[in-house]
Amino acid sequence: MYLLGLSAFYHDSAAALVNDGRIVAAAQEERFTRKKHDPGFPAHAARYCLEEAGIGMEDLEAVVFYDKPLLKFERLLETYYVFAPRGLKSFLSAIPVWIKEKVFLKRLIREEIAKLGNGKGKVPRLLFTDHHLSHAASAFYPSPFRESAILTVDGVGEWATASICHGKDREITVLKEMSFPHSVGLLYSAFTYYLGFRVNSGEYKLMGLAPYGDPTSEQVRRFRDLILDRLVHLKEDGSIWLNQEYFDYATGLSMVKDDKWLDLFGVPRRLPESEIEQVHGDLALAIQQVTEETVLKMAKTAKGLTGARTLCLSGGVALNCVANGKLLRQGIFDDVWIQSAAGDAGGALGAACAAYHIYYGKDRVMEGNGDAMQGAYLGPAFGDDTVRAIAKRYGAAFTLHEDDDSLAKEVAGDLASGKAVGWFQGRMEWGPRALGNRSILGDARNKDMQLRLNLKIKFRESFRPFAPSVLMEDLQEYFDTDRPSPYMLLIADVVESRRNPHPEGYHRMPIKDKLYTVRSDVPAITHLDYTARLQTVHKETNPLYWKLLAAFKEQTGYSVIVNTSFNVRGEPIVCTPEDAYRCFMRTDMDVLVVNRFIFRKENQPPWQEERNWRQDLVLD
């Protein structure tokens, strides 16, 4: 039985294919269209999934959409009604679009599905799941747990903004929900907006900015108290009530009321691309602390309601790896498992899984270690013929290795000598994190690597941190944890023995000066608070990447390297070898490795391009 899951028409559209409960393929539309956070119908992603399985539309039992549009429309109408006459301008802007397009979404989806089949054959059955059920299913069914509490926290689905479910075998039972307009995800997005980042894409920047706040300062405490006193009423069960006098997302055209936030915090809204000051780091830290406290309370409630020993996490807030790491350390649950594509894209996978196990009543089949995500390597791979064709098109020079061991040894030497390496291998990752198949790599020991990667390769803000990839076998040599983190969704402390003490007056230093402080013997991946967002590399799921780290260890004594996504600011992660070569030539990367082909920048022909591509990037 083949089931195709879809998420679309909001942001991060995606498709996922499940065959008899096993995940065959999954990908986001943005990777194919090169339009970041593409919200359109995921035609390219869906077509890839079918091609990966070698099937056509006529082989599908059903297509499953990740939420229920009419319930969303109901929420929209009721919200405008409750807040009337406020929101008239937003009402006049939104409602015609809904009436013209989204109310008739079922028809639109059927039309797009028919195009995938080139108008041939019968259009498969179309099913719809609840938004939060899709999220919960995406976390529980691929997890290694037969029974688990499931916590979903995001901006908003149809009505729900957070939910607690109980998963057991093939069943998922919804136990408790929090409803719009009260939302942890929207609260965090409001601060994302106020601190000058783009909503629905810049939340991870806010998380990365938080460690620049001074945890010892009175200002952070004051901001936190103001949030909990004036903006948010946080209850013991983790539910929140947001004071809508300060927000505008329910009926307006903005996230917050800027003037009221200015009066409250005494800090004007930071404009995008403007300088980041200490006060911005302090405000980011305050909302991060409130978010962590809220998630912890929700997790305790989930434990009390289910009695389960394990927890599955999903929804956009589950991408907050700082909160995830602190939740794990609290020991509320014996183990925590997080969907690698926890945001809306993951809803496509959850929709297909939910239909298979709930609608069709099929049992789970758990194999091996029980983690059905296959390392999240679920996207397309490309053969050597494709690489040769692209090299010929661009006149690119390369060398070709005959085996993985010699390849790993040479590239490890490049990393050890300070080179930045584009690393393109196998199937593309599912989710927002690069996990060693579409990655830019560097030496974590190099104190200048963070600034170089940010400013000359990624073209992004200099404060942005980088994640380490570390051999699972050596995890505790570097980090104070024994828990695997294959999907780069957990924060861990760098072990005490590797840290350098903060200089006197460190927390009062300007943010730019903090950046240049060498905090450990692996400074490129050590954040200001001595933490790192880590990826554990496992020989079973990515043997070639494991070999690269092992070769680097043999040459340097270190089994940890910098791993960041293979893209530049404003563009999606690369999908094809051509995407990779173009990105390589447009940046200061030194080496590009595609399969066993090695391209060195000094050997390439001059890159010709009529326009200044950097000016055309959509900054986010």
Looking at the domain assignment, is residue 209 inside a domain?
yes
Number of domains in the chain: 3
Domain check: are 117 and 152 in the same one? no
Inform me whether the pLDDT recorded for 121 exceeds 70: no
Domain check: are 81 and 193 in the same one? no
Looking at the domain assignment, is residue 138 inside a domain?
no
Question: Which run of H or of E encompasses 311?
Answer: strand 310-314
pLDDT, tens digit, 9 for 90 and up, residues 422-479? 999 999 999 999 999 999 999 999 988 888 888 888 877 777 778 999 999 999 999 9
Tokens of 331: 């020991």
- 278 SS3 class: helix
Domain check: are 483 and 609 in the same one? yes
Domain check: are 284 and 349 in the same one? no
pLDDT, tens digit, 9 for 90 and up, residues 27-83? 999 999 999 999 999 999 999 999 999 999 999 999 999 998 777 777 777 776 677
Question: Would you please indicate which residues are annotated as catalytic (active-site) residues?
Answer: 11
Region 488-503: mean pLDDT is 93
**What's residue 267's pLDDT?**
96
What's the mean pLDDT when you consider all of the chain? 92
Confidence of residue 610 (pLDDT cuts 50, 70, 90): very low
Among the candidates 288, 320, 340, a domain finishes at: 340
Smallest CA-to-CA distance from 411 within 383, 447, 380, 436 is with 436
Q: Which of 4-13, 97-106, 301-310 has the lowest mean pLDDT?
A: 97-106
Contacts of 311 (CB under 8 A, 6+ apart): 148, 149, 150, 151, 299, 302, 303, 327, 332, 333, 335, 336, 337
Domain check: are 215 and 305 in the same one? yes
Domain check: are 351 and 500 in the same one? no
**What's residue 510's pLDDT?**
79
Region 89-98: mean pLDDT is 69
Domain check: are 352 and 430 in the same one? no
Cross-strand partners of 22: 19
Q: How far apart are CA 583 and CA 569, in angstroms?
A: 11
Cross-strand partners of 615: none
Inform me whether the pLDDT recorded for 199 exceeds 80: yes
CATH of the domain at 537: 3.90.870.20
pLDDT, tens digit, 9 for 90 and up, residues 527-548? 988 999 999 999 999 999 999 9
CA distances in angstroms from 187 to 80, 241, 354, 427, 550, listed in the order given: 19, 10, 29, 35, 43
Q: How far apart are CA 302 and CA 311, in angstroms?
A: 8
Looking at the domain assignment, is residue 403 inside a domain?
yes
Domain, as residue range, for 104: 2-66+68-128+344-372
Domain check: are 398 and 547 in the same one? yes
Q: Which of 162-166, 197-201, 361-365 has the lowest mean pLDDT?
A: 197-201
Domain check: are 82 and 208 in the same one? no
Inform me whether the pLDDT recorded for 200 exceeds 70: yes
Looking at the domain assignment, is residue 377 inside a domain?
no
CATH of the domain at 291: 3.30.420.40
Looking at the domain assignment, is residue 330 inside a domain?
yes
Domain check: are 276 and 299 in the same one? yes
Domain check: are 351 and 433 in the same one? no
Domain check: are 312 and 283 in the same one? yes
Q: How far apart are CA 344 and CA 12, in angstroms?
A: 6
